[in-house]
Amino acid sequence: MKVRILVTSAWPYLSVTPHLGNLVGSLLSADVFARFCRLRGEDVVMVSGSDEHGTPIEVEAIRLGVSPSELANTNHARLLELLEKWGIVFDNFTRTENPTHKQFVKEHLTKVYDNGYIFTQETEMLYCQECRRFLPDRFVEGKCPYCGYERARGDQCEACGRLLETTLLVDPHCAICGDKPVVRKTKHWYFDLPKFSDQITAYLEKNKRLPANARNFSLNFVKEGLKPRAVTRDISYGIPAPFPGAEGKTIYVWVEAVLGYVSATIEYFKDHENPEAWKDYWFDKKARTFYFIGKDNIPFHTIILPALLLASGYDYNLPWNVSATEWLQFKGEKASKSQKVGIWMHEALELFPADYWRYFLMATRPETKDSNFSWEIFTERINADLNDTFGNFVHRTLTFINTQFGGEIPAPQPLDADSQAILKSLEEKVETIAKQLENCEIQPAVATIISIARTGNQYLNEKEPWKLIKTDRAKAADIFNVATQYVKALAITSAPVIPFSAEVIWKTLNLPGSVHKQEWKEALKPLPGNHKIGKPKPLFHKIDANEKELEEKLQEARKRLAQAG
Ligand SMILES: [Zn+2]
Ligand SMILES: [Zn+2]
């Protein structure tokens, strides 16, 4: 029986191109997980989209002197192109301007309002007299009242992860003109989050699948006392608030972005035979929803989204798992566009193929603690793991079969105890990888994949079939029969992580179809004897540039991309 699985990734802001730190926990992790679930034969739908409303894009558009929608169109098109180049495959990667989304958000919030969970309140907001506008969220920056971080945004402190209100900021300044704002009164509509404290606590306590970071953070968050959350904003680019008397207000971007998971599923099934099929993913209790996010997004997925779903009165499925990554740092620092710290999605591909980055990011995925990027660490992982272990094992095996066996997989003989043991170990590893991936433990799964190649290499080194072939050809043939089974297992198990290279292995093995259309259990099915394979080319190349040279290459690429616009 197939399991229905909805995989989602946090919606990237369209104001900037995502950097590797944005990518690692959300878009890329979701893709790896969804690819794995597809191989397992599950009924997978993967959705996300561009978050184009709200203050980040409006602030950026004002800075660039274009309209928010112009900027959003350009950036959305660019992001779609980048996702393809990175091999990140969504069933629906939409945007918050799509009519299905806007309609759904209005209807959902009207229902929440009718159910009595939305109230109005006069509030004090920061106002910039120079720009003549209210300054919600990212329109204002200042010092975090909790941790003292200097560049906290009006809605959240990037350093400590706490949610903020603009008026809480110490020494606030307008993000557009830098002026010191004044406090003014305005009216807003609020979601009565505290009413869901008990239900959310029960959900969090019951859901043992949540990783420790998401679970602990969320339980503490509820314990500190939930506060009502504003659902409206005084900005123009967004979804008009559907409440009586709320003319001129738009929906707070966080509310609509999390509801976008539902609307993107609805939109995806609109063109299908059964447009109502989206409900199978959101209401059928056997279906599972997985959310891939960075840790700054935890409360929105473990608390605010579940509460918004409960508030509708419909029996929505609450998140089955929320896989939240810690930070990926760059040479020990947090990525920052203004400080030019970090590497961005488009820049990375100018330097190395997507699989190199996908491998590095998943092999060092910050699951339980922060990880760090430096050229030294990157080079070490690519050279030692991907090239010397994985690539080398595949290449030497397939090359030997071409030179010694005329490109035909040696027919299987009754295998000796060593060879049987080595196949048994492969079976265990493939099973371990599946268990790890099911639990969203991608980083350990990648380590297990590499360990298959490592075992394969050790086996060849110990058996020395290149010597054996001169004295006992049948024995050498057995060893290569086993080694090719390792290669085939590597093609299947690595397909979610390095999809382009896995496809190359599959094609070189001369197997039908695409590796991505196979079933997971195919990993352990032996290749038929006398099966003819193709000639291998090296899958990867060793990086021999030093740190300084790599940094120079990055700067050159950055300049080139800036000139190309
Ligand atoms: Zn802080
Ligand atoms: Zn201003």
As averages over each run of 10 residues, the pLDDT of the chain (565 residues) reads 95 89 96 98 97 83 90 94 98 96 98 98 93 89 94 87 88 94 95 98 96 95 94 89 95 92 98 95 98 94 98 98 96 77 95 98 96 96 98 98 95 87 97 98 98 98 95 93 97 98 98 98 94 97 96 96 85
The tokens describing 390, both together, are 């994985």
Residue 150 CA: which ligand is closest? 1
- Residue 166 alpha carbon to ligand 2 centre in Å: 14
- Residue 180 alpha carbon to ligand 2 centre in Å: 8
Residue 164 CA: which ligand is closest? 1
- Residue 130 alpha carbon to ligand 2 centre in Å: 5
Question: CB burial class (10 A; 0-12, 13-18, 19+) of residue 309?
Answer: buried
Closest to 30 measured CA to CA, from 239, 264, 190, 237: 264
How far apart CA 271 and CA 258 sit, in angstroms, is 23
- Residue 164 alpha carbon to ligand 1 centre in Å: 9
- Residue 296 alpha carbon to ligand 1 centre in Å: 11
How far apart CA 50 and CA 466 sit, in angstroms, is 54
Residue 135 CA: which ligand is closest? 2
Residue 130 CA: which ligand is closest? 2
Element (H, E) at 256: helix 253-270
How far apart CA 7 and CA 289 sit, in angstroms, is 6
Closest to 388 measured CA to CA, from 219, 210, 229, 538: 538
How far apart CA 250 and CA 232 sit, in angstroms, is 5
Whether 344 and 385 have beta carbons less than 8 Å apart is answered as: no
How far apart CA 375 and CA 348 sit, in angstroms, is 12
Residue 159 CA: which ligand is closest? 1
3-state secondary structure of 188: strand
Question: CB burial class (10 A; 0-12, 13-18, 19+) of residue 185?
Answer: exposed
- Residue 128 alpha carbon to ligand 1 centre in Å: 23
How far apart CA 141 and CA 135 sit, in angstroms, is 10
Residue 338: the pLDDT is 65
Residue 1: the pLDDT is 78
Neighbours of 416 (CB within 10 A): 13
- Residue 61 alpha carbon to ligand 2 centre in Å: 14
How far apart CA 498 and CA 442 sit, in angstroms, is 13
The tokens describing 426, both together, are 């492969």
State the Rg of the chain over Cα. Answer: 26
- Residue 91 alpha carbon to ligand 1 centre in Å: 36
Closest to 114 measured CA to CA, from 272, 295, 243: 243
Q: CA separation (Å) from 11 to 27, 109, 353?
A: 8, 20, 24
Residue 4: the pLDDT is 98
Residue 415: the pLDDT is 87
- Residue 169 alpha carbon to ligand 1 centre in Å: 10
Give residues whose Cβ lies within 5 Å of ion ligand 1.
Answer: 144, 146-147, 149, 157, 159-160
- Residue 190 alpha carbon to ligand 2 centre in Å: 26
Give residues whose Cβ lies within 5 Å of ion ligand 2.
Answer: 128, 130-131, 174, 176-177, 179
- Residue 443 alpha carbon to ligand 1 centre in Å: 28
- Residue 324 alpha carbon to ligand 1 centre in Å: 19
DSSP 440: T
